[in-house]
Amino acid sequence: MRNIFDLTIEELEDYFISIGEKKFKAIQLYSWIYGKRITSFDDMSDMKKIVIEKLKEDFTLEPLKLIKVERDTEVNKYLFELYDGALVESVLMRHDYGTSICVSSQVGCNMGCKFCESGRLKKVRDLNSYEMVLQILAVENDIKETITHVVIMGIGEPFDNYKNVTNFIKIVNHPKGLSIGSRHITVSTSGIVPKILEFADFPYQVNLAVSLHAPNDKIRDEIMPINKAYKIKDIMDALKIYYKKTNRRITFEYIMLDNINDHDEDAIELCKLLKGLNCYVNLIPYNETNNIQYKRSKNDRILKFYDIIKKNNIGVTIRREFGSKISAACGQLRSKKESL
């Protein structure tokens, strides 16, 4: 039985037409499940009994099972159990501009980035769209607030689960869904070139972030196995096409690894690579874990790297650190039962 939160508004319209009903009932249903947050189809007072019974035959409203919440200043980390017993994590972050959630898109990850704790567990399966939607609903229910921003940067590579991720975006962006604005949604990829090109034609103005983390193939080959398949030139060529089609500024994520990718010459090479592209660089102080040998760049090295990029007239920020005390920071999520 399919979870109702898996369906886009268009899919629901097709469903109602298929059972001999008017397609406007899809909007009615969205208003009940996302607006009023019903937990039973029987609660829909403006829907015919025969329609309600049909919905109960075909769909479920079952939520995710919340296993554990860890709370730190301005950050909560949530551990969820999925229908098959698999575990994923989400992170809530409070900013001065709103409340953001970092959503997982897969159980495990096949990208195998050497510095990333999440990638130590190989991909088990993709998350369905509803399993991503329900992460948001569960967190909103916990904090009793509306989430204003979504980043698909949790466990998994979103572009390795393209259809479910794009359907998820359609659902949470819809005015009768969660009504989260396109420009408040960011998708992160490690650089799957065919999907970057496909995403250029996706008709929603969502933000794209690319986990680059190196200015050349030599360094990137060492720390990101995906670079064996898609070299930096391939990624940059795809991004130029993406920008030409969308006119959307691109974010480049760059983890600062001590004595690996943080030298002055690395910063200079990065500036040459990005010159002329409408983008900005998000420098991420590395969050060390017990299982991985990489170390965080020294603060003065991060600041020097920042200064070089800034002086080359490329937008650059140093990511504010969230959740390291509860292993909720970038690269620290890990969906294993040992997390319990």
| Active centre residues (catalytic) | 89, 330
The alpha carbon dihedral of 155, 330, 187, 244 has a sign of: negative
What one-letter code names the amino acid at 107?
V
Determine the Cα–Cα distance for residues 79 and 340; give it in Å rounded to an integer: 8
* Residues linked to residue 228 through DSSP beta bridges, in sequence order: none
Determine the Cα–Cα distance for residues 215 and 238; give it in Å rounded to an integer: 16
* Residues linked to residue 94 through DSSP beta bridges, in sequence order: 99
**What does the DSSP assignment read for 131-193?**
HHHHHHHHHHHHHTS---EEEE-SSS-GGGGHHHHHHHHHHHHSTTTT---GGGEEEEES--H
Cβ atoms < 10 Å from Cβ of 55: 21
What stretch of H or E contains 279? strand 279-285
